Amino acid sequence: MKKSFYVLPIALLSLLVAAGAVFAGSKEVEGDGKFAGDYAMGGSTTVEPIVVSAIEAFAKKYPAAKISYDAQGSSVGVTGVVDGVYVLGGSSRELKDKEIDAGVVPTAIALDGIAVVVNDNVPIDNLSLEQVARIFAGEIRNWKEVSGPDREIVVVNRDEASGTRAAFSELVLEKNFGKGKAKFIADAITTESNGDMVTKVGQTPDTIGYCGFGYIDKAKNIGGKTISVDGSDPTVANVLTKEYPVSRYLYVVSKGQIEPGSLNEAFVSFLLSDEGQQIVEETGYIAIK
């Protein structure tokens, strides 16, 4: 009887020690219990790889914060912030005047180039910015018009909610035709994300499209390739020197100024920290700090 009397307390003691170790370990996690709850973010598919990777790293610091990101395009992200659907939105374009008037505030988190991509079967390695603009406007319809084969050019475009489309229009079409005079070709194939864009270009002969730098490797892996514009290759170095002509900032946006002590402040601060900017570079974009 004495044996069984002492075995039980020892077993309980072991359990309590183990539980205490687990509890002590959890207290060592930075911010444990802070920002507890669900937080929805959403917007640009270009910004998506940065934010999703940042969410994973941020969760190690603040495990009680459950953050999601819904990649539906920049315009959806901005509207979602205005309507209170998202706490933060992702945008790969500049804000419109009406969005600024609605109280939307942008914070730049990265720099990005927009690469022009074509299917591997297109024997073209360089186009001028004017030629790219005229192709996407429908003025140039055959590859032979730009020293290529006698085959029809198949244009792949993004949907109207896309920030990359808006930036491409501003940086390419408007730069060539003038503001308000630039219109995309009406019969282009439409895609809903950078990933869909490079997949369509890689799988469809004679196509031309565009994507953020973070999707260049995917484009090359599925049958596409990048081309130079005005003789400049789409590289980080060429964007930083402003030699490559098609580049833009990437943003997270909030409704009003970010409140001190909020999850928004902590998350944006993380994106702008050394660790966050390393994530920017690891996902194929360009750090701004």
Q: What is the pTM of this model?
A: 0.76
Q: Residue 18 pLDDT > 70, yes or no? A: no
Q: Which pLDDT does position 10 carry in this prediction?
A: 39
Bridge partners (DSSP) listed for residue 232: 229
**CA 232 to CA 102: how far, in whole Å?**
38
What are the pLDDT digits (tens) for 153-190?
Answer: 999 999 999 999 999 999 999 999 998 887 999 999 99
Confidence of residue 29 (pLDDT cuts 50, 70, 90): low
Residue 126's Cβ-side half-sphere holds a number of Cα atoms within 13 Å equal to 8
pLDDT beyond 60 at 191 = yes
The per-residue pLDDT for range 217-254, each reduced to its tens digit, is: 999 999 999 999 999 999 999 999 989 999 999 999 99
**Model pLDDT for residues 107-136, shown as the tens digit of each residue:** 999 999 999 999 999 999 999 999 999 999
- CA dist 14 and 10 (Å) reads 6
Terminal CA-CA length for the chain: 70
pLDDT in tens, 43-102: 999 999 999 999 999 999 999 999 999 999 999 999 999 999 999 999 999 999 999 999
Mean pLDDT of the chain: 90
Domains of the chain: 37-110+249-282 (3.40.190.10), 112-247 (3.40.190.10)
Contact (CB, 8 A) for 63 and 77: no
Q: What is the band of 33 on the pLDDT scale with cuts at 50, 70, 90?
A: confident
- Strand ranges (DSSP E) for the chain? 37-43, 65-71, 88-91, 104-119, 126-127, 154-158, 189-191, 207-212, 224-229, 247-255
Q: How confident is the model at residue 31 (pLDDT cuts 50, 70, 90)?
A: confident
How does pLDDT run across 255-285, given as a tens digit for each residue? 999 999 999 999 999 999 999 999 999 998 9
